[in-house]
Structure 1
Amino acid sequence: MHHHARYFLAQLSLPVRKIMAATAVDCARHVAQTLGFNKTEIFGVKMAVEEAFINATNYYPDEVGPDELIYLDFFVENDALIISVRDKGIPFDQKRAAQFSADNSCNSDARAMHTFMDSVTVLSHGRDGREVRLTKRIQTGTLPAELVDDKQASVKKPRTTVKAPLIRLARRADDLAEVCRLAWRCYGFTHEELLYDPGLLTEKVAKGEFKSVIAIDPESGRIFGHIGLKYHCPDDPAPELGLAFVDPAFRSPQVPLKMANVLFDIAEADGAKGIFDCSVTTHTFSQKGMQDRGSRPCCIMLGIAASGMQAKELKTSRQAKGSVVNHYYAFDHSRRTIYIPPHHQAMVNDIYGWMEVPRDFGTPAVTPPAETSSISVIDLPDALNASFIIVHAIGAETAAEVGIRLRQCRTMRKDAVFAFIPTNDAASPALVEQCEAMGFFFSGVMPHIHGGEDRILLQFVDIPINLDAIKVYGDMTRTLFDYITREQLKALGPR
């Protein structure tokens, strides 16, 4: 390893919120594991990064706005791991900026950093902000060879073309461990935790909660592609397709589609009613791929995509907090009656028409429901900072209960809250209108979920969303997106 070379390991841009410390710590853990640190050293790195990040939020040099970020860089230089935690530059409040210094090891705010790291340095970059730099020495040779191949770095190797890949289910532990390594090569530490924990991934596969399909280069035996099918509950009638990536060092025409076809065949044979997917809106590659496969847009969820998500092989820009387009491919085309508010019926009718799932609209109830209300709340992982409110049964108190859960989510500073309302109940349209009076607005519909019943989705987005940055593919998705943005404008009134 060249003595003065710098080897980049990870980079994060996180909102100035203490809740995001968990994301920083998770990344630090993975970096420390990559460098071969023992359990005690990994614990120390995690503690130091957590303390540095929390200090950065406590002593942020200005009033915290919705677009303010803290930046973390992890790299190896001069036989040491260096972790840089930076705030913004100008404009800043000089009085706030002068409150904290990590240089003093006696400072209780910096105790973990000085205990577990070899050095802690505070750097002032003037107009470019302030940086706390943590340094921990590493043993020579602990940096993975893949990261120090100077010849590979200086001379771009041609991509390996695989014309006839071997595509099969991943069942063995060594398959799944390689899937985790592949996820790191393609995305860094920006996907959900499942993809970076071989033990957890193996457990999910063994229980049937996750099906993993891999693409293998027959000549080298190397796994270079992956796609998964996630079952959110036992006997899930509509599993979710996702976690698809291909090693950028390989080229194999239509390999994502070939892998997806295997899972579509498996799901249909298992009796699934259909398959969902979530496609990011920072680019249209995945949206186009799903629509070419026959899936159709049914929902757009604003503000749910994790910050920092970036596909290396697509060279997309990093997103601050993004959105997703949900597509659906139906196996079950049987006709049903659903209950939709009249003002959404035209849009909902279009969506079901795109999916070729026939639905009739029933007459909404005019009397309050007599059933007992039942709802639950699911908090999504910290990196998403969003919650689902699931309505299982509509009763006289359901609207009030949704309102209480919404206020709790807002108190917890959730970026977005999504309500899933059953459409097989004639009381559904009235509940939708009551939720819209709270500030929720239309997101879409999802057939065959939560026990095989259809749901109408509403969303409450509590952060600014740059709608101009959202990229959608095709006339269908554009029609849905335009409708949602108009509904969002209407929802701003009740707030």
Structure 2
Amino acid sequence: MEAYLYLEAHIKAIEPVTDFTYRWCTAMGMHRDEAAQFTLAVDELLTDMILFAYPEDVGYVEIWYRYSLPQLEIIIQESGEPFDPENYRYSPDKVLAEGDFTGAGLELVRKLTDHFLFLNRGRDGKEFRLAKQLSEKDYSDIQQYIDGIPSEAEEENFSYTLMPVTKEDAEDIAKLIYRSYDYSYSKEDLYFPKQNEMAIEHGKKFGTIVRTTQGRPVGYFTVIKASDSLIGEVGEAVVSPPHRKRGLMKRMMNELINMSKKRGIMGLYGLALTVHTISQKVNQAFGFHSTALLVAITRGSKHKEFITDNSQPKSILVDFLPLNKNWNPSVFLPDRYHSFLQKQYRQFQVPLDIREASDYWPGNPGKTEMQLSFTYKNKTAKIVVSNIGDRFISSAESMMRSLEEVDLHAICIDIPLENSPNNEAVEWLHRNRFIFGGLMPMIHKEKDYLRLQKILVPINFDLIQVHSETAEELKNFISEEYHALPQEY
């Protein structure tokens, strides 16, 4: 459940906002003590904002509450007086020597949150982002559970039943993950039963669980639903080691595809680490086609079943399976990537209507609309452009300036292919070191997008492993464009 507040910057607004913040945090699964700390951070920041951002004029504050396992994020925006946080650095020495508490409020906010960012958006005002990772305090009995039950090798009857996942399965899923991978599985929130329970209950995901005749969970596979489109990601897949090579992964994937069709899901994405080609092979076997390669997009894996070189951030191969037979893209293809995008569409054998700029008569291009999000643990940012307006370049310049002081490995930006010509926007982004990322079908509001990426760390493409010929072509295309840029690391 996400929420949005728009309020006058008045001192009387603080109490109802903090009350709502605490209740929202606990409703999303945060423990009460951590919710109280997070709420205190919001209270401190909002108080300073109301007192100092609008000293004379009446102003307004916008607050977004976002829920994305395993993280809660609160974004506060205002358009008051300019502010430079570097001039308000907290110094314990000054407190002791001079009684100067400058910056104490911002320091408190940093201490009470896992991530705290300030973004100067220029004419679009100022933005503060506070994030807190959900934690779990009641799963320490997993090892005791494992030690107290018979081993799977002792079970002689390997008859299996596939059932839809329910929130009551959350604890069994955590134990299954632990038995299969210890604590090396990349989706850390699966070790936290409460978090998984909340995601299933709130409809963030659906899937299937495999049990033996004795009721033991031995397989689990889910679809994680997108927040802004009727698509999903196949992920969180596990089969217990003694039960592998028995066709369970195939049965679960078929079940997920059928479940997705019944729920009106229009397409499925498979995101496979490029250090793990087995996942790529599974996706290919079920008719997925590679459309994007996202470089330096995730942190190094500690998966116990394969050893990886952690000398650079890891990359992800994006595969797509359309489920909607009525997918008939009508797109503007930018000159720079026209031929390659056409080739990517041909994989799916769908009717493709390529529009020309002369076909577009907008009258008024309208306002540029873009939304910024962060994956803090991976040091990545993503910008989604929902409308390319007449001020796209100035808005993008402002957005990029706001990110200059943030320590990032990569920035991705999604450019719409369907609603307006995009050649000028793509060329400006290329001049600013954005290169091809890939085609992202139906990714936002069931519309196709071009994903571009700006890689901010040095990358050795020889360490990126891909399986199919299509994926190899994609990797080479991106590598050539990357190496053609002047390196500035």
**TM class by shorter-chain length?**
0.5 to 0.7
**1:398 Cα deviation from its structure 2 partner:** 1.7
1:246 counterpart residue number = 239
Q: Which residue of 1 aligns with 2:318?
A: 326
* Distance in 2 (alpha carbons) for counterparts of 1:349 and 1:372: 29
Residue in 2 that maps onto 1:272: 265
Say which SS state the counterpart of residue 253 (structure 1) adopts. coil
Equivalence for 2:209 = 214
Q: What residue in structure 2 maps to residue 484 of structure 1? A: 478
Deviation at 1:295, TM superposition (A): 0.6
Q: TM-score, normalised by structure 1?
A: 0.64
Q: CA distance change for structure 1 residues 452 and 144 in 2, over 3 Å: closer, same or farther?
A: closer
1:315 partner SS: coil
Say whether the 8 Å CA contact 2:177–2:185 is kept in structure 1: no
Distance 1:169 1:359 in 2: 36
Report the secondary structure of 2:385's partner residue: strand
In structure 2, the residue corresponding to 1:228 is in which secondary structure?
strand
Q: Is the 8 A contact 2:167 2:196 kept in 1?
A: no
SS of 2:292's partner is strand
Match of 2:163 among 160, 164, 168: 168
Q: In 2, Cα distance between the equivalents of 1:247 and 1:223?
A: 8
**Residue of structure 2 equivalent to 1:194:** 189
CA distance in 2, matches of 1:493, 1:337: 36
Which residue identity does 2:316 align to in structure 1? V
Match of 2:277 among 272, 278, 284: 284
User: Deviations along 1:385-418, whole A, 9 cap, x unmatched?
Assistant: 1111010111122223223323433421111111
Q: What letter is aligned with 2:201?
A: A
Number of residue pairs matched by the alignment: 347
> Aligned equivalents of 1:161 and 1:491: distance in 2?
59
Partner of 1:425: 419
Alignment of 1:345 with 2:338, yes or no, is yes
Give the match's secondary structure for 1:282. coil
CA contact (8 A) 1:160 1:251 kept: no
In structure 2, do the counterparts of structure 1 residues 143 and 160 end up closer, same or farther at CA, with 3 Å as the change threshold? closer
User: Residue 451 of structure 2 corresponds to which residue in structure 1?
Assistant: 457
Give 1:248 shift: 2.3
Check if 1:261 corresponds to 2:260. Answer: no
The aligned residue for residue 389 of structure 2 is 395
C-alpha contact (below 8 Å) 2:187/2:236 kept by paired residues: no
- 3-state DSSP class of the match of 2:268? strand
1:133 is aligned to none
Aligned-partner SS, 2:449: strand
Q: Which residue of 2 aligns with 1:317?
A: 308
Alpha-carbon displacement from aligned partner over 1:314-365 (angstroms, at most 9, x marks no partner): 4343645211111110122432320111231221111111123332221136
Any conservation in 2 of the 1:240–1:276 contact (CA below 8 Å)? yes
Cα shift at 1:163: 5.5
Alignment partner of 2:372 out of 372, 377, 381: 377
Q: CA deviation at 1:196?
A: 2.5
Q: Distance in 2 between matches of 1:343 and 1:285?
A: 33
Residue in 1 that maps onto 2:405: 411
Asked if structure 1 preserves the Cα contact closer than 8 Å seen for 2:167 and 2:201, the reply is no
Q: Given the superposition, is the C-alpha separation of residues 435 and 217 from structure 1 closer, same or farther in structure 2, using an over 3 Å criterion?
A: same
Shift of 1:422: 0.6
Candidates 431, 434, 443, aligned match of 2:428: 434
Pick one of 199, 203, 217 that aligns with 2:198: 203
Report the alpha carbon displacement of residue 222 of structure 1 after superposing the two structures with TM: 1.3
| Residues 296, 166 of structure 1: alpha-carbon distance in 2 compared, 3 angstrom cutoff | same
Q: CA deviation at 1:159?
A: 9.6
- 2:100 maps to which residue? none
Other-structure match for 1:144: 143
Change (3 A) 1:490 1:256: same
Return the offset for 1:439.
0.5
Q: Which amino acid aligns with 2:288?
A: S
Query: Is the Cα–Cα contact under 8 Å of residues 159 and 249 in structure 1 kept in the other structure?
Result: no
Alignment partners' CA distance in 1, 2:418 and 2:386: 11
Match of 2:19 in 1: none
Q: What corresponds to 1:448 in structure 2? A: 442
Residue 297 of structure 1 corresponds to: 290
Asked if the contact 2:274/2:464 (under 8 Å) is kept, the reply is yes
Q: 1:474 offset after TM fit, Å?
A: 1.3
Distance of 2:282 and 2:397 partners within structure 1? 38
Secondary structure of the residue aligned to 1:332 is coil
Report if the CA contact (8 A) 1:442-1:457 is conserved. Answer: yes
Q: CA deviation at 1:469?
A: 1.3
Mapping of residues 456-475 of structure 1, within 5 Å:
456-475=450-469
Question: Match of 2:70?
Answer: none
Distance (Å, rounded) in 1 between the aligned partners of 2:286 and 2:158: 20
Q: Any conservation in 1 of the 2:301–2:308 contact (CA below 8 Å)?
A: no
Deviation of 1:367 (Å): 9.9
Match of 1:359 in 2: 352
Unpaired stretches in structure 2, ≥5 consecutive residues = 1-31, 34-139
1:257 alignment partner, SS class: helix
Q: 1:466, CA displacement in angstroms?
A: 2.5
* Distance in 2 between residues matched to 1:231 and 1:162, nearest whole Å: 35
Identical pairs, percent: 20
Distance 2:159 2:295 in 1: 38
User: Match of 1:186, SS?
Assistant: helix
User: TM-score, normalised to structure 2's length?
Assistant: 0.65
Deviations 1:12-34 (A, max 9, x none): xxxxxxxxxxxxxxxxxxxxxxx
Deviation at 1:426, TM superposition (A): 3.1
Out of 276-285 and 484-493, give the one that drifted further.
484-493
Q: Structure 1: which amino acid aligns with 2:210? A: A
Assess if the C-alpha contact under 8 Å between 1:216 and 1:224 holds in 2. Answer: yes
Q: Is the 8 A contact 1:283 1:316 kept in 2?
A: no
Counterparts in 2 of 1:185 and 1:414: CA distance versus 1, 3 Å: farther
CA deviation after TM superposition for structure 1 residue 476, in Å: 1.0
Report the counterpart of residue 177 of structure 2 in structure 1. 183
